[in-house]
Amino acid sequence: MHFRAGFALCGALLMTGCAVPYSPAPVATNFPSTQQAKLQAAAHWGVIARHMAGQLAPSLKVNAKRPLYVTSQQSSAFAQGVSAHLVTALVNDGYIVVKVPDANTLRIELDTQVLAFSSKRPQYKFAGERSALVAGAWVLTGIDHTIEWLVSSAIAGQDAYAWFRSQFATGATPKTEIIVNLSLADDSRYYARSTAVYYTTDSDRALYDAAFQPSRTFAVRNH
């Protein structure tokens, strides 16, 4: 018993010694785990458009008497689709949305930036595997057992496991991400601004980045 305790103490001291007190550059560390939505359908564009419009709502209500004009700095299919969803949401909420701006118009400006990271990104999906708690109830082990991760006996067996995993997008972790900025502004100032980041399907990058041209391979034939 004393031998095991001494061995553990030595191991701890060795691990402590590996962390040098000084270094010529900051030590790279990971951020706490977070979740990021993956855009996979045009319907998702409407979801994020309505969400971001909702974030601008307090400033929109303060300036409710001024007409609105929706504009985008990009011409991608995504930018056009989100702009259309924004117009629909604003009109349905009772705001005045004009087709041609004037000096009194407030602009809702959409600005996007598509980023392509390394294709060798970590492929972490979810923590834990299924384990039976009691008959008809399942939990994913290796994660915090909060109420969010517990399921009642009404969902049993494989259905419970599928329910747990349904929130995670299928496929590899995408290398393509998009930053979406939505601003309420005029010529002199910003009144409100919302920024969000999403994964996109790598094969659909052309929908989000109008300047992106997928590489093509041409076969050369000798005559």
Residue-wise DSSP of 38-66: EE-SHHHHHHHHHHHHHHTHHHHHHTTTS
- What is residue 76's predicted lDDT score, i.e. its pLDDT? 96
**What would the two tokens of residue 23 be?**
């270094």
Residue 2: predicted pLDDT: 53
Angle at 20 between CA 15 and CA 21, to 5 degrees: 125
The CA-based dihedral angle spanning residues 53, 59, 63, 69, taken in that order and rounded to the nearest 10 degrees = -30
Residue 13 tokens read as: 């001291």
Q: Which residue has the tokens 């701006």?
A: 101
Q: How is residue 211 written in tokens?
A: 């300047």
Q: Two tokens at 196?
A: 């969000």
pLDDT at 173: 81
d(CA 209, CA 198): 14
Q: How is domain 38-120+174-208 classified at the architecture level of CATH?
A: 3-Layer(aba) Sandwich (3.40)
State the Cα–Cα distance between residues 209 and 127, nearest whole angstrom.
33
> Per-domain residue ranges for the chain?
38-120+174-208, 126-167
Return all residues near 14 (Cβ < 8 A) that are at least 6 apart: none
pLDDT at 127: 53
One digit per residue, the tens of pLDDT, for the chain of length 223 reads: 555 555 555 555 445 445 578 889 998 888 888 888 899 999 999 999 999 999 999 999 998 889 999 999 999 999 999 999 999 999 999 999 999 999 899 999 999 999 998 877 776 665 544 444 444 444 444 445 454 445 454 445 556 556 556 767 777 788 999 999 999 999 999 999 999 999 999 999 999 998 876 655 545 566 5
pLDDT of residue 139: 47
